[in-house]
């Protein structure tokens, strides 16, 4: 009987994989911060949302423009304003961020509301 | 070295709480401390796992409670509430704070909060070996002096330093806590002092809470603590004052008070870590980061994850199958024969007692035992995924897709396991950390078509839609998924609303080699917990069905020897027919099959065979000797071992072996003609409706028992009733559509 199961599940999984690939192609490149007054202010101040932060660059977390209940989660994970952060993976879904020696995954919408400052652009190698 | 000189007569039982961040090695320390003397269950009324254990030492008893891993003691997650309630209400004699030495800064945040609570505390610096490998040099003496707490360095995975933890905990319990705490901004300290003065005036409050901790929490606007304090004498005036001062302070700081306090805490810790840790690691890619580059990649992430899930799925089904068969063979073969022989010897052979023992008790026990290999295999696979750190990566990779249907990335695994068996899938929801996500996932699990439902599809598709049977079966699997998505979306808009602006925030722990001892413990304890909690309900249901089949309600049958149509079971099935008539299968045989399907889907077909009277006469078998039986058990055990080993290479590949014949021509003909009658000539539509009903209604009592064990009675009943309604509506739609389209 169980031999029936395998082709079915294989097809089922290919469907999932296909859907995932499509979803990835469609929204993987979405990079934008919510457009409101505060965001414009922060952009003008030279900050940029974490989603737009390039990978492997040292940055400094400046401002959490998120819901109060989420703020607590972020604070207890060590994401306090003024902390150095670094994006280590951006695969189109959540962002993977290095902070205070640990790796924290942050939902994309959340990362669009967290503002960072890149150090003044000098010719420093980002890998160093 | 254990010193016992200070033990007084009234402190022979010591209550110890283990606290720490997730992934700090708390469970490893807990296992090393308690060995097998552990109890796993849930916290009362919560879906958070509670682990307790004992340790006996020189006539002294240490009751150790493993608190859920948390990042802080604010009450924003269920784990934090559970951990904090325990510390506040049970007031353990000593708190053992387990800290990951490779990540001091983040871990000490919780430690500072624990110290502010004012309980005697021992700091355990775990994973000292990894810290050494990373070139971290931690000055434990300076750290101990700076925090004002004793420190024990350990390598829990190799059980180094465990004796020192025990000794240190015993000593810390007898000494008054005198920690060094962070100083906050002068304005904050001013308000803390003001509130502390008020707190000290009220004995009822002062006796329960540490004044400084309470003042801090109230200024931070902790609603949970406010609620507790409000009910104490003098609480309301304190609260009013705290709210007012908090507002003043926020205006003065031009920032939320809780933000300021968290920031100050981290600043203090940062400075402290800077003093005690030398050779901090360079900000470069670690080994974990390099693996993550690949594993969480945009292109490879999901295929790797699906492959991992596939292996887990095959592992739980293929590796456990030989053992399920072996248990079944032993119970229905030798054990049943022995029971019959024993009953025969005491003169009860052939009576209803024999039927009760063989068809009721032994069959019921078999129904329970059959889950043990499946659950053990699942728990093993889950423990490896969790311990190695991959589970968090899977959630990371799947998060975006699952978010579209309002679920968490971690929900995928339980749903996946549900294709094998719903019972382990319900328990697999433990990998979800949020209560609401757990219940939501748990309610959707039964819609994933489990392995036991497949034989029904195979038989019915062969009878009614022989030319497109594969397509029909695939369609049923997809229908289950679609219904699950619809139900999930509905639940989120009604009784399980999404918690405000979820947004994933999750730590990805570094990859580690699994700790075998911990995994072994885990598998054993969780499987035992299933036996303790779910077994009774499964057994009772099985016996109840037996009883229904045994009671004669007319005709010439006697108790336990009555034709099925005349039994109470037959009557009950007949009573169901009006409900099933609109679905096209309103015969008592279908009703009976569906009722017994509540116990286990495996018996739907055998019940049909019984009710249509086409059951093949069972082999009575040659009379055997006791010794011969033992030999048979042993040889089939060896066969099971061999089958398990054989299953391993096939786990990744897809074995397209020859399909087993479902040939029971007599039964097929009987079902066909019966459905032809009840559906008024639309047998195919009725057959399809029956399959849809089997797909959508409650998988089995074991699943309900698991839901009750995990989520409580209310959710289990909701799941049972809700699924019956959904199944009926689904089957109705399918039947009517089929009739309309001329099926």
Residues 549 through 588 of chain B touching chain A, CB cutoff 8 Å: none
Asked if residue A126 belongs to a domain, the reply is: no
Token pair 């507002």 in the structure block, residue:
B247
Q: For residue B721, give every residue at least 6 positions away whose Cβ sits within 8 Å of its Cβ, in sequence order, or none.
A: none
Same domain, yes or no: A67 and A99: yes
Return the pLDDT at B341: 84
| Structural domains of chain B, with CATH | 9-174 (3.40.50.300), 186-278 (1.10.287.1770), 307-496+505-513+531-617+667-740 (no CATH)
Q: Nearest C-alpha of chain A: how many angstroms from B715? A: 27
Return the pLDDT at B111: 94
Yes or no, beta carbons of B105 and A86 under 8 Å apart: no
**At CA A61, angle to CA A56 and CA A62, rounded to 5?**
145
- Establish if A117 touches chain B: CB-CB under 8 angstroms: no
Same domain, yes or no: A57 and A26: no
Which of B614, B616, B610 lies closest to B573 in space, CA to CA?
A: B610
Q: How far is the C-alpha of B3 from the C-alpha of B344, rounded, in Å?
A: 62
Same domain, yes or no: A43 and A26: no
Name the 3-class secondary structure at B70. coil
> Tell me: the pLDDT tens digits for B77-86?
778 888 998 9
ipTM surpassing 0.90, yes or no?
no
Same domain, yes or no: A46 and A13: no
- Establish if B301 touches chain A: CB-CB under 8 angstroms: yes
Q: Shortest CB distance from A101 goes to which of B105, B399, B502?
A: B105
Same domain, yes or no: A25 and A70: no
Is the confidence at residue B154, as pLDDT, over 70?
A: yes
Does residue A74 or residue B39 have the better pLDDT? Answer: A74
Asked if residue A124 belongs to a domain, the reply is: no
Q: How far is the C-alpha of A112 from the C-alpha of A95, rounded, in Å?
A: 10
Which of B691, B695, B694, B697 lies closest to B724 in space, CA to CA?
A: B697
- Establish if B293 touches chain A: CB-CB under 8 angstroms: yes
Asked if residue A72 belongs to a domain, the reply is: yes
> Tell me: the pLDDT tens digits for A35-81?
677 778 888 788 889 988 888 888 999 888 887 777 888 888 889 88
Per-residue pLDDT band for B3 (boundaries 50, 70, 90) equals: very low
Asked if residue A102 belongs to a domain, the reply is: yes
Return the pLDDT at B269: 93
Residues 119 through 138 of chain B touching chain A, CB cutoff 8 Å: none
DSSP-derived letter for residue B255 is S
Is the confidence at residue A99, as pLDDT, over 70?
A: yes
Per-residue pLDDT band for B336 (boundaries 50, 70, 90) equals: confident
Does residue B301 or residue B555 have the better pLDDT? Answer: B301
Encoded tokens for A1: 């009987």
> What is the count of structural domains for chain A?
2
Q: How far is the C-alpha of B721 from the C-alpha of B717, rounded, in Å?
A: 6
Return the pLDDT at B657: 37
Return the pLDDT at A127: 45
Yes or no, beta carbons of B76 and A73 under 8 Å apart: yes
Encoded tokens for A33: 């911060």
Return the pLDDT at B378: 78
**% of chain B surpassing 70 pLDDT:** 90
Yes or no, beta carbons of A7 and B654 under 8 Å apart: yes
Residues 8 through 37 of chain B touching chain A, CB cutoff 8 Å: none
**Residues of chain A contacting residue B258, judged by C-beta atoms under 8 Å apart:** 71-72, 75
Query: Do B87 and B95 touch, CB atoms closer than 8 A?
Result: yes
Q: Which of the residue ranges B188-197, B227-236, B364-373 would you say has the lowest mean pLDDT? A: B364-373
Q: For residue B508, give every residue at least 6 positions away whose Cβ sits within 8 Å of its Cβ, in sequence order, or none.
A: A96, A103, A104, A105, B288, B292, B389, B392, B393, B396
The pLDDT of B401-419, averaged and rounded, is 80
Return the pLDDT at B164: 92
Q: Which domain holds residue A73?
A: 37-117
Same domain, yes or no: A46 and A91: yes
Same domain, yes or no: A15 and A53: no
Per-residue pLDDT band for A123 (boundaries 50, 70, 90) equals: very low
Q: Nearest C-alpha of chain A: how many angstroms from B612? A: 23
Encoded tokens for B164: 């020192």
Same domain, yes or no: A98 and A47: yes
Return the pLDDT at B462: 83
Same domain, yes or no: A61 and A113: yes
Yes or no, beta carbons of A23 and B301 under 8 Å apart: no
Is the confidence at residue A124, as pLDDT, over 70?
A: no
Is the confidence at residue B368, as pLDDT, over 90?
A: no
Return the pLDDT at B727: 94
Q: Is the dihedral of CA A13, A19, A25, A31 positive or negative?
A: negative
- B63 bridge partner residues: B15, B54
Name the 3-class secondary structure at B132. helix
> Tell me: the pLDDT tens digits for A13-34?
667 666 665 655 554 444 455 5
Is the confidence at residue B512, as pLDDT, over 90?
A: no
Same domain, yes or no: A5 and A64: no
- Establish if B317 touches chain A: CB-CB under 8 angstroms: yes
Is the confidence at residue B615, as pLDDT, over 60?
A: no
Return the pLDDT at A14: 65
Q: What is the largest CA-CA distance in chain A?
A: 66
Return the pLDDT at B143: 92
Q: Which of the residue ranges A14-23, B327-336, B501-510, B540-549 would you say has the lowest mean pLDDT? A: A14-23
> Tell me: the pLDDT tens digits for B284-310?
667 888 898 888 888 888 888 888 877
**Residues of chain A contacting residue B454, judged by C-beta atoms under 8 Å apart:** 1-2, 4-5
Asked if residue A79 belongs to a domain, the reply is: yes
Q: Nearest C-alpha of chain A: how many angstroms from B177? A: 24
pLDDT, mean over chain B: 82
Q: How far is the C-alpha of B439 from the C-alpha of B711, rounded, in Å?
A: 7
Q: Which of the residue ranges A14-28, B136-150, B552-566 would you say has the lowest mean pLDDT? A: A14-28
Is the confidence at residue B471, as pLDDT, over 50?
A: yes
Q: Which of the residue ranges B120-134, B136-150, B538-552, B670-684 would you say has the lowest mean pLDDT? A: B538-552
Q: If DSSP states are collapsed to H, E and C, what string results for B660-711?
A: CCCCCHHHHHHHHHHHHHHCCCCHHHHHHHHHHHHHHCCCCHHHHHHHHHHH
> Tell me: the pLDDT tens digits for B627-671?
777 887 788 888 888 877 777 665 544 443 334 444 567 788 888
Q: Shortest CB distance from B292 goes to which of A1, A68, A89?
A: A89
Asked if residue A15 belongs to a domain, the reply is: yes
Same domain, yes or no: A51 and A76: yes
Q: Shortest CB distance from B306 goes to which of A13, A24, A100?
A: A13
The pLDDT of B364-376, averaged and rounded, is 78
Same domain, yes or no: A81 and A110: yes
Asked if residue A74 belongs to a domain, the reply is: yes
Asked if residue A125 belongs to a domain, the reply is: no
Residues 31 through 90 of chain A touching chain B, CB cutoff 8 Å: 58, 66-78, 80-83, 86, 88-89
Q: Shortest CB distance from B263 goes to which of A4, A20, A80?
A: A80
């Amino acid at each position: 009987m169980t031999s029936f199961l395998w082709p079915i599940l294989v097809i089922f999984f290919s469907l999932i994989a296909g859907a995932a690939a499509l979803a990835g192609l469609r929204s993987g490149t979405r990079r934008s911060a919510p457009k409101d007054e505060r965001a414009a202010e922060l952009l003008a101040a030279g900050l940029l949302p974490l989603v737009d932060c390039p990978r492997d660059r040292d940055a400094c977390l400046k401002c959490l423009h998120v819901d109060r209940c989420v703020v607590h989660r972020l604070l207890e994970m060590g994401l306090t304003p003024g902390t150095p952060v670094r994006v280590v993976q951006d695969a189109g879904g959540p962002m993977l961020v290095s902070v205070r020696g640990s790796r924290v995954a942050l939902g994309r919408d959340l990362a669009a509301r967290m503002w960072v400052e890149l150090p003044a652009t000098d010719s420093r190698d980002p890998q160093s | 070295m254990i010193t016992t000189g200070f033990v007084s007569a009234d402190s022979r039982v010591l209550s110890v709480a283990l606290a720490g961040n997730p992934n700090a090695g708390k469970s490893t320390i807990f296992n090393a401390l308690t060995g097998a003397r552990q109890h796993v269950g849930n916290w009362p009324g919560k879906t958070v796992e509670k682990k307790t254990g004992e340790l006996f030492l020189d006539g002294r008893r240490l009751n150790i409670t493993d608190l859920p891993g948390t990042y802080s003691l604010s009450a924003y997650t269920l784990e934090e509430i559970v951990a904090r309630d325990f510390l506040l209400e049970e007031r353990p004699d000593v708190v053992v704070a387990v800290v990951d030495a490779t990540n001091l800064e983040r871990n000490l945040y919780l430690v500072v909060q624990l110290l502010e609570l004012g309980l005697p505390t021992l700091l355990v610096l775990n994973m000292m070996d990894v810290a050494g490998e990373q070139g971290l040099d931690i000055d434990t003496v300076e750290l101990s002096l700076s925090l004002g707490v004793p420190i024990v360095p350990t390598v829990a995975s190799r059980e180094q330093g465990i004796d020192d933890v025990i000794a240190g905990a015993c000593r810390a319990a007898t000494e008054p806590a005198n920690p060094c705490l962070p100083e906050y901004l002068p304005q904050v300290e001013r308000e803390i002092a003001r509130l502390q003065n008020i707190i000290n005036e009220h004995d009822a409050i002062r006796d329960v809470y540490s004044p400084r901790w309470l003042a801090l929490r109230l200024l931070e606007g902790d609603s949970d603590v406010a609620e507790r304090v409000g009910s104490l004498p003098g609480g309301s005036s304190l609260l009013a004052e705290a709210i007012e001062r908090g507002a003043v302070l926020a205006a003065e700081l031009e920032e939320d008070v809780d933000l300021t306090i968290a920031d100050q805490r981290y600043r203090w810790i940062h400075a402290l870590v800077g003093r005690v840790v030398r050779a901090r690691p360079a900000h470069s890619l670690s080994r974990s980061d390099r693996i993550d580059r690949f594993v969480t990649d945009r292109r490879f992430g999901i295929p790797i994850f699906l492959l991992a899930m596939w292996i887990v799925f095959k592992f739980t089904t293929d590796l456990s199958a030989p053992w399920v068969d072996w248990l079944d063979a032993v119970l229905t073969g030798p054990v049943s024969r022995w029971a019959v022989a024993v009953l025969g010897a005491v003169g009860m052979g052939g009576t209803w007692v024999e039927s009760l023992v063989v068809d009721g008790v032994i069959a019921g026990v078999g129904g329970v035992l059959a889950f043990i290999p499946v659950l053990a295999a699942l728990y093993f696979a889950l423990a490896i995924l969790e311990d190695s750190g991959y589970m968090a990566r899977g959630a990371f990779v799947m998060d975006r897709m699952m978010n579209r249907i309002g679920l968490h990335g971690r929900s995928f695994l339980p749903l996946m396991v549900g294709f094998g068996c719903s019972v382990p899938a319900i328990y697999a929801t433990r990998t979800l950390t949020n209560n609401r996500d757990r219940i939501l996932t748990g309610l959707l699990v039964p819609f994933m078509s489990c392995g036991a439902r497949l034989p029904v599809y195979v038989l019915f598709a062969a009878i009614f839609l022989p030319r497109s049977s594969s397509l029909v079966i695939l369609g049923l699997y997809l229908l289950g998924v679609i219904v699950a998505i619809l139900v999930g979306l509905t639940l989120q808009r009604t009784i399980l609303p999404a918690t405000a602006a979820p947004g994933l925030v999750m730590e990805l722990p570094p990859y580690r080699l699994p700790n075998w001892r911990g995994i072994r413990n885990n598998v054993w304890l969780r499987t035992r917990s299933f036996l303790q909690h779910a077994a009774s309900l499964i057994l009772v249901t099985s016996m109840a069905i037996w009883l229904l089949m045994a009671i004669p309600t007319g005709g010439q049958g006697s108790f336990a020897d009555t034709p099925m149509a005349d039994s109470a079971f037959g009557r009950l099935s007949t009573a169901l027919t009006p409900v099933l008539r609109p679905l096209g299968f309103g015969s008592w045989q279908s009703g009976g099959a569906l009722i017994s399907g509540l116990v286990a889907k495996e018996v739907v077909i055998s019940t049909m065979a019984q009710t249509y009277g086409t059951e093949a006469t069972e082999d009575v078998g040659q009379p055997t000797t006791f010794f011969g039986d033992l030999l048979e058990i042993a040889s089939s055990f060896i066969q099971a071992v061999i089958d398990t080993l054989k299953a391993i290479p096939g786990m990744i590949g897809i074995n397209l072996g020859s399909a087993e014949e479902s040939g029971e021509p007599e039964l097929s003909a009987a079902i066909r003609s019966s459905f032809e009658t009840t559906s008024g000539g639309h047998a195919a539509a009725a057959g399809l409706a029956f399959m849809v009903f089997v797909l959508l209604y409650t998988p089995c009592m074991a699943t309900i028992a698991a839901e009750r064990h995990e989520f409580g009675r209310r959710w289990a009943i909701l799941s049972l009733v809700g699924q019956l309604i959904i199944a009926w509506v689904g089957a109705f739609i399918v039947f009517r559509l089929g009739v309309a389209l001329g099926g």
